[in-house]
Amino acid sequence: MSGLIPPHGGKGLVCALLEGAELEAEKKKAEGLKKISITGRENGDLIMMGIGGFSPLSGFMTQADWKSVCENFTLSDGTFWPIPVTLSATKEDADAINVGEEIALENADGVVMATMKVDEKYEMTEADKKWECEKVYKGEGEESADDKFWEIAMEDHPGVQMVMAQKDFNLAGSVKVLSEGDFPERFPGVYMSPAQSRAIFEERGWSTVAALQLRNPMHRSHEHLAKIAADVCDGVFIHSLVGSLKPGDIPAEVRIKCIETLIDGYFVKEHVVQGGYPLDMRYAGPREGLLHATFRQNYGVSRMIIGRDHAGVGDFYTLFEAQTIFDKIPQPEDDAKRLLCTPLKIDWTFYCKVCDGMASLRTCPHDDSVRVKLSGTKLRKALSDGEEIVDHFGREEVLDILREYYAGLKEKVEIKVHKKV
């Protein structure tokens, strides 16, 4: 019997990805079905449902599930879930589809990613979308104040922009996933399913596994967090997003190369695994931290590293809001419906010149004048502007990779540095 944490929801890994003859038959059937265009976010969500990353979800959410997730952090059956997973369609498409009908879901590249049996269709008015944004994306930071949120969010919050740009109806129903896209080919050995990561952990004899979430290049603070996790767990899973990011973020291929370089030079390889997952960022701060823990449980992870400003954007969230939210979520009586992956809460980390090493607010008694505070945004800003990188911000081998990437850019994207970084 596996010593790893069980998948979320009590149903094992719920995988909607077809294989073999069943896959070929469904692909042929899809050719004759009405096609609905899907966004990048929906494409990533489909793949996660395909490989079991979103267990126990087997399809896009009904109105009851959507409302309960936004309001109560649970599906309508009481199972914990922190963020809506929905599929939008135009009014014209929704009107042309009957409940009970099967449709094909086609991504921006014209690839049919899945078929879906439509169990429900429901309107999403502008008021509904705003309500979702206020429930899911509004935090406790300065830019989430009632008199500022909508003025700033429509300009600066990519998650809010994503929701408000959704079409006028949502379609709900179970899916049959036909493809993982190009992720297996683009990221061989890094992109993996929950079944694959669990097999690796079991082969190594791990039972307690911590995950480090990454969307930025891995700097000294990330390295420090991963090493803390390796000290208190059997191993650490450096698990980076290989889906779409916002303009100015660094591509997955570059970030993966940086992680490989760090693992080769600065980690005990028996206690670390690099992996990638196919989602787009939602930039939902605390709620996304909960989502990260939820799907990491499916990957076999028992502890989710939550540091400063996890999955945040701008000043919509306070520095440690993604930590405190774990103390406020519902705890269903049924263990299977509860979030079992717990947070590994770590304070703000930095390099201290007096301590002569990495430290945190809990361990370093010195003031800001001798601290090198690290953030992915500040690093990207300095590299983009061609500025000198201060000592101890990152490993030189990694900075060389990043400098080479920025030197090859033909267009520079402006990077905003907000107050809290």
Q: Which residues are catalytic?
A: 215-216
- Work out the end-to-end distance of the chain between its first and last CA atoms, rounded to an integer number of angstroms: 45
The interaxial angle of helices 376-384 and 396-407, nearest 10 deg, is 50
Residue 53 near residue 298, CB atoms below 8 Å? yes
Handedness of CA 259, 263, 266, 272 (dihedral sign): positive
Structure tokens at 118: 């439509």
Beta bridge partners of 36: 105
Question: From CA 164, how far away is CA 351, in angstroms rounded?
Answer: 40
Structure tokens at 25: 């038959």
Backbone angles phi, psi at 126, to 5 degrees: -60, -35
Structure tokens at 209: 């596994």
Residue 100 near residue 117, CB atoms below 8 Å? yes
Residue 279 near residue 45, CB atoms below 8 Å? yes
Question: From CA 69, how far away is CA 248, in angstroms rounded?
Answer: 31
Question: From CA 126, how far away is CA 148, in angstroms rounded?
Answer: 19
What number of other Cβ atoms are within 10 A of residue 247's Cβ?
A: 9
Residue 399 near residue 265, CB atoms below 8 Å? no
Q: How many residues does the chain have?
A: 421
